[in-house]
């Protein structure tokens, strides 16, 4: 049965689509798009129930992100990235959760998690400085997660490296305007953020390695719901890849609308062209397979934890391999249909070209880089050696 949020997104879909062009032009989500996302409840999917959230199955969250992305890629992307942040906030100190959501459970949280800052230990916490890229949806957020390397005694990153996720209120960081000028996902407003010298209390930090493992962070936070015991590198990529697959589904829908009555310059009706029809069906099957495999992966991990089974590195590696492949498969399918849409498909007056651009920029995210993920998962599958060091990164 479809989750109520997914149903609401579908009901609001035409209105989301109507504001997609404005969102792209603004370089951030339009106010109407934000209002529609709030009305649907997408950002509350993974939020704890005591703060008005659903604590939903991650499969349902992914389907909600896909649903939004079918109508507006940028809005879906912000939901996919920002929608995971309530999940991690649930693992933080309860004092911080009350600060963020105590007065307004609809508060949004931004990121990025890349360790592009230095956190220097001081009494009671850390002093933070750094410059981060790609803070999707940041204009609409009042708090932010940032990745930071802990400094050693000399001020340089400590060895071996230790990464924290730290949380700051809007007053403690600067959004760098005009830092998001791109060819796709333009409306995500994924701008740079700057921190010059902010104090981070200890309770607003969490060890990134602990979150990556899942179970220990949930136990420390007193969270017993299965969704909060999942590993970070299963949850964070889920939202992003769900957005890419939803964008691909939107591209397919736009392609079908365009081709239905199209007649080529050679006076051939597309519905009479067996080669284009073959390509449509093959691409549709590839996008459907991507959706199925992504949902299967997160469901497998969820079911393991629900059954009391430990999630191994091999389990995480397999899911990351498949999730990465899902994105590439879906975008390749979009290329196939776009290539058969004729020159008019490139006109900005049509929506297909926006989905095509959004899909390719979505593929550029670091979690879709296949090299080390495929390398590590192949070694793990063969059992010839245990991947270490960089080969364990992002898994």
250 and 286 together in one domain: yes
Spacing of C-alpha 105 from chain mean position: 21
Closest by CA to 308, choosing from 224, 235, 233, is 224
What's the confidence (pLDDT) of residue 387? 86
Spacing of C-alpha 337 from chain mean position: 25
pLDDT in tens, 328-353: 999 999 999 999 999 999 999 999 99
321 and 175 together in one domain: no
Handedness of CA 119, 120, 126, 130 (dihedral sign): negative
90 and 178 together in one domain: no
216 falls within a domain: no
CATH number for the domain spanning 161: value is 2.40.110.10
Domain boundary among 77, 106, 135: 106
pLDDT in tens, 10-66: 999 999 999 999 999 999 999 999 999 999 999 999 999 999 999 999 999 999 999
CA distances from 151 to 65, 192, 209 (A): 37, 22, 16
Q: Does residue 71 register a pLDDT over 70? A: yes
63 falls within a domain: yes
> Across residues 198-226, what is the average pLDDT?
95
139 and 37 together in one domain: no
In this prediction, residue 288 has a pLDDT band, given cuts at 50, 70 and 90, of very high
319 falls within a domain: yes
- HSE toward the beta carbon, residue 122, CA cutoff 13 A: 12
Q: Does residue 1 register a pLDDT over 80? A: no
Q: Does residue 111 register a pLDDT over 70? A: yes
What's the confidence (pLDDT) of residue 384? 81
pLDDT in tens, 355-372: 999 999 999 999 999 999
pLDDT in tens, 113-126: 999 999 999 999 99
In this prediction, residue 389 has a pLDDT band, given cuts at 50, 70 and 90, of confident
Structural domain tally of the chain?
A: 3
Higher pLDDT, 199 or 272: 199
> Across residues 3-15, what is the average pLDDT?
97
15 and 119 together in one domain: no
What's the confidence (pLDDT) of residue 74? 98
> Across residues 240-262, what is the average pLDDT?
96
311 and 384 together in one domain: yes
71 and 165 together in one domain: no
CATH number for the domain spanning 266: value is 1.20.140.10
pLDDT in tens, 78-101: 999 999 999 999 999 999 999 999
Evaluate whether 332 touches 370 at the Cβ level (below 8 Å).
no
| Ramachandran sector of residue 188 (left: φ over 0; alpha: ψ -120 to 50; beta: rest) | alpha
Phi, psi of 265 (to 5 degrees): -65, -20
Q: Does residue 267 register a pLDDT over 90? A: no
Q: For a pLDDT cut of 70, what percent of the chain falls above it?
A: 100
In this prediction, residue 211 has a pLDDT band, given cuts at 50, 70 and 90, of very high
Q: Does residue 243 register a pLDDT over 90? A: yes
> Across residues 182-210, what is the average pLDDT?
97
122 and 31 together in one domain: no
In this prediction, residue 265 has a pLDDT band, given cuts at 50, 70 and 90, of confident
Q: Which residue range(s) make up the domain with 133?
A: 109-207
> Across residues 365-394, what is the average pLDDT?
92
> Across residues 159-175, what is the average pLDDT?
97
Q: How many residues are there in the chain?
A: 395
> Across residues 222-247, what is the average pLDDT?
98
246 and 276 together in one domain: yes
Q: Does residue 386 register a pLDDT over 90? A: no
pTM of the model: 0.97
385 falls within a domain: yes
237 and 364 together in one domain: yes
78 and 133 together in one domain: no
132 and 259 together in one domain: no
Mean pLDDT over each residue of the chain, to the nearest integer:
96
CATH number for the domain spanning 37: value is 1.10.540.10
What's the confidence (pLDDT) of residue 262? 87
Complete DSSP assignment for 205-264: EEEHHHHHHSHHHHHHHT--SGGGGS-HHHHHHHHHHHHHHHHHHHHHHHHHHHHTT-B-
222 falls within a domain: no
């Amino acid at each position: 049965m479809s989750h109520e949020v997914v149903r609401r997104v579908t009901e609001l879909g035409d209105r989301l689509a109507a504001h997609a062009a404005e969102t792209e032009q603004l370089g951030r989500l339009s106010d109407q798009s934000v209002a529609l996302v709030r009305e649907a409840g997408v950002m509350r999917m993974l939020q704890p129930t005591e703060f008005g959230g659903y604590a939903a199955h991650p499969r349902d969250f992914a389907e909600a992100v896909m649903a939004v992305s079918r109508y507006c890629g940028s809005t879906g992307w912000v939901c996919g990235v920002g929608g995971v942040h309530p999940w991690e906030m649930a693992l933080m100190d309860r004092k911080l959760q009350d600060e963020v959501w105590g007065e307004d459970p609809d508060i949004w949280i931004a990121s990025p998690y890349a360790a592009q800052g230095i956190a220097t230990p001081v009494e009671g916490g850390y002093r933070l400085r750094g410059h981060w890229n790609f803070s999707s949806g940041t204009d609409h957020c009042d708090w932010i997660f940032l990745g930071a390397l802990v400094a050693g005694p000399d001020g340089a990153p400590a060895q071996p490296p230790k990464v924290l996720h730290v949380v700051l209120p809007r007053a403690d960081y600067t959004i760098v305007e005009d830092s998001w000028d791109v060819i796709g996902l333009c409306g995500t407003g994924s701008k740079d953020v700057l921190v010059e010298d902010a104090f981070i209390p200890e309770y607003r930090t969490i060890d990134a390695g602990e979150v990556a493992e899942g179970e220990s962070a949930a136990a420390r936070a007193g969270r017993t719901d299965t969704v909060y015991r999942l590993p970070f590198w299963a949850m964070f990529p889920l939202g992003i890849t769900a957005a890419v697959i939803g964008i691909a589904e939107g591209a397919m829908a736009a392609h079908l609308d365009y081709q239905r009555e199209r007649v080529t310059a050679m006076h051939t009706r597309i519905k009479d062209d067996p080669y284009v029809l073959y390509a449509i069906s093959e691409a549709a099957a590839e996008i459907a397979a991507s959706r199925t495999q992504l949902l299967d992966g997160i469901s497998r991990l969820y079911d393991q934890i629900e059954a009391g089974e430990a999630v191994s590195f091999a389990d995480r590696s397999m899911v990351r391999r498949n999730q990465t492949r899902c994105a590439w498969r879906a975008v390749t399918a979009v290329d196939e249909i776009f290539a058969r849409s004729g020159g008019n498909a490139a006109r900005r007056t049509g929506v297909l070209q926006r989905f095509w651009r959004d899909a390719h920029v979505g593929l550029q995210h670091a979690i879709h880089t296949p090299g080390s993920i495929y390398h590590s998962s192949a070694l793990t599958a063969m059992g010839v050696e245990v991947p270490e060091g960089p080969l364990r990164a992002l898994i």
